[in-house]
A and B are shown apart, each in its own frame.
Chain A
Amino acid sequence: MTQRWRLVLLIPAFLVLATAAAAIILGLPAFGHPLTHYGTAVNTLAPALRNVSNMVAAVNFDIRGIDTLGEESMLVCAVTATVILLRGHRGEDGSERAGLIPGRANAARSDGMVLMCRLFATVVFLFGVYVVLHGTITPGGGFQGGAIAASSFILLYVGGGYQPWRCVLHSPVVVGLEGFGALAFVLCAAVPLAFGYAALQNVLPLGTWKDLYSGGLMVIVNIAVGVAVTGSFGVLLIEFMEETRAPKGHDEKEGA
């Protein structure tokens, strides 16, 4: 199909979309006056019921925790599929140099930049851990904190280059983190079931309001998600960085 025909077909599609969007926009409640009773109920009841101050975490890890379990599985499946698509026979030992493809920049780094990247990687990683651990109290949680912690891996790469980076970040470690986090989440859902409760039922003591331990089982689920997200993003980084390396020649034919 040519470009012109696509555009011609797009016009009626947009007309339908615009009509539907207009109908929906006029039917939606006025902006700033929501009709969502579920959220209001959560805001009213959850602080007293669960001893947590972050309602988003309460929804994610307790009240609608089983949905988050599904989402976590989607994340793990997507990462697994990416790894299957990308993984060749390259770089598992991490011994070969990267970035030596002709025409691709391979500038030397200054010592100052390496030092700054290492310092900030530590700070960023600790900040990610902080955001995960305080997930039930202040804004943040496993997903956000995990992403922040994983971004410190990029800083390590920027500072050190491929080879030192692979010496620090081992593929089995991040894969293990991802799998362990996901497994811990599943266990949090399954163990209460084994004792005759509902899945993900908050069976642990709820802890103290505004304390690092507040929310009972939510704390464990939150940390499990943080570990899994850190691992997942680490796996993605490693697999995509592998692609920047020059292939060994026979690699292109493999798996065809």
Chain B
Amino acid sequence: MTVLAWCVAAWLLGMGVYGMVTSRNYVHLIGCLSVCQSGTYVLLLGIGFRWGAGPPIFYNHPPGTPAVDPVVQALVLTDIVVGAAMTALLLAIALQVHKRRGTLDTQHLRPLRPTE
């Protein structure tokens, strides 16, 4: 039980890598990258967790009561926002690749060269 969270994080990373390696579609590959990234969410939230502690928001319970680590939660927040923006950027690249090459199959994509 004590290592379950870490194993889930490693499993998510591994499955994301497996998906990226075997991917046949660029959009699918971006999804796999997001799976890899969700491993970091599990890892960070797991590191900050404390048994019997509440959320790090002292509204209903006064300051001084046990609370989980707010630093890693702030990190996860950062992680999610940047992840969303990077996914948007990668999808934009996918659109451009599809316009130029007519395919999103990662097996057939070659380095971009000037057309004509």
For residue B95, CB closer than 8 A to chain A, the reply is yes
Which one, B1, B13, B85, B93, contacts A75 given CB within 8 A?
Answer: B85
Instruction: Tell which of A78-86, A116-124, A169-177 binds the partner.
Output: A78-86
Which one, B18, B64, B67, B92, contacts A86 given CB within 8 A?
Answer: B92
Q: Return chain A residues, CB-CB under 8 Å to B91.
A: 240
Which one, B21, B56, B63, B93, contacts A10 given CB within 8 A?
Answer: B21
In contact, A44 and B64 (Cβ under 8 angstroms):
yes
Tell me the minimal C-beta distance from B108 to chain A in angstroms.
Answer: 12
In contact, B70 and A33 (Cβ under 8 angstroms):
no
Which one, A55, A229, A239, A256, contacts B56 given CB within 8 A?
Answer: A55
In contact, B22 and A85 (Cβ under 8 angstroms):
no
The CA of A139 and the CA of B70, in the complex, are separated in Å by 12
Interface residues on chain B, number (Cβ under 8 Å):
54
For residue A221, CB closer than 8 A to chain B, the reply is no
Q: Return chain B residues, CB-CB under 8 Å to A36.
A: 47-48, 69, 71-72
For residue A130, CB closer than 8 A to chain B, the reply is no
The CA of A157 and the CA of B82, in the complex, are separated in Å by 25
Tell me the minimal C-beta distance from B60 to chain A in angstroms.
Answer: 9
Tell me the minimal C-beta distance from B19 to chain A in angstroms.
Answer: 11
In contact, B21 and A137 (Cβ under 8 angstroms):
no
Residue of A nearest to B58 (CB): A53
In contact, A39 and B71 (Cβ under 8 angstroms):
yes
In contact, B58 and A74 (Cβ under 8 angstroms):
no
B-side interface mostly = helix
- Interface code B50-69, partner A: CB below 8 Å = 1, 0 otherwise? 11000111110001100111
Which one, B10, B18, B77, B96, contacts A21 given CB within 8 A?
Answer: B10
The CA of A44 and the CA of B70, in the complex, are separated in Å by 11
In contact, A34 and B50 (Cβ under 8 angstroms):
yes
The CA of A58 and the CA of B67, in the complex, are separated in Å by 14
In contact, B74 and A60 (Cβ under 8 angstroms):
yes
For residue A125, CB closer than 8 A to chain B, the reply is no
Q: Please provide the chain B residues from 79 to 96 with a CB less than 8 Å away from any CB of chain A in the complex.
A: 80-82, 84-86, 88-89, 91-93, 95-96
Given A17-B17, A31-B46, A31-B49: A236 and B88 interface contact (C-beta under 8 Å): yes
Q: Which 9 A-B pairs have the closest CB atoms?
A: A39-B69, A55-B70, A78-B85, A55-B56, A47-B63, A32-B51, A21-B10, A59-B74, A85-B92
> Taking beta carbons and an 8 Å cutoff, which residues of B are in contact with A?
1-7, 10, 13-14, 17-18, 21-22, 46-51, 55-59, 63-64, 67-74, 77-78, 80-82, 84-86, 88-89, 91-93, 95-96, 99-100, 107, 115
16 contacts between A and B (CB under 8 A): A13-B17, A21-B6, A21-B10, A33-B51, A36-B69, A39-B56, A43-B56, A48-B63, A53-B63, A54-B57, A71-B81, A79-B88, A81-B89, A138-B57, A139-B57, A256-B100
